[in-house]
Amino acid sequence: MTTLQSLYDFIQIPENKTLLTSNNFDPNTILTYYLITKESYSNGHFYLGGQIKLKFDDIISKEHIECVQKINKERNQDDYANYWEYSSCMTHERTFNDFVKLFDFFEDYIKKEKEKEKETIFS
């Protein structure tokens, strides 16, 4: 199961960071959420897509991602009080969209690694 902790640990390995950047993923997306959890005001939490409050070691599920995507899709111009709020929401949405790409890549990568391990064991 994927957590912010597992994603952060993954990008700390230089080979993995290179793998991500060579596939046009920005590891700083993970760092954005990670650094928020280290701020005193956050009390160890971050808001996935600016919507769902999670801790560093909480499991991030497909349901979490789908919930944020649904909220983002249903949002319209009348939901913003001013340009600053609109800008903040758009920044969260961009960060979230980049995060989802990394999340999916990480989940696929881990799945393939586990399959390789099984093949090695049964060979």
Query: What is the domain count for the chain?
Result: 1
Q: What pLDDT does residue 52 have? A: 95
- Report d(CA 112, CA 43) in Å as an integer: 35
- 72-109 pLDDT tens trace: 888 877 788 898 988 988 888 999 999 999 999 999 99
% of the chain beyond a pLDDT of 90: 72
Q: What pLDDT does residue 123 have? A: 62
- 37-61 pLDDT tens trace: 999 999 999 999 989 999 999 999 9
DSSP class of 3 = B
- Structural domain including 43 reads 4-122
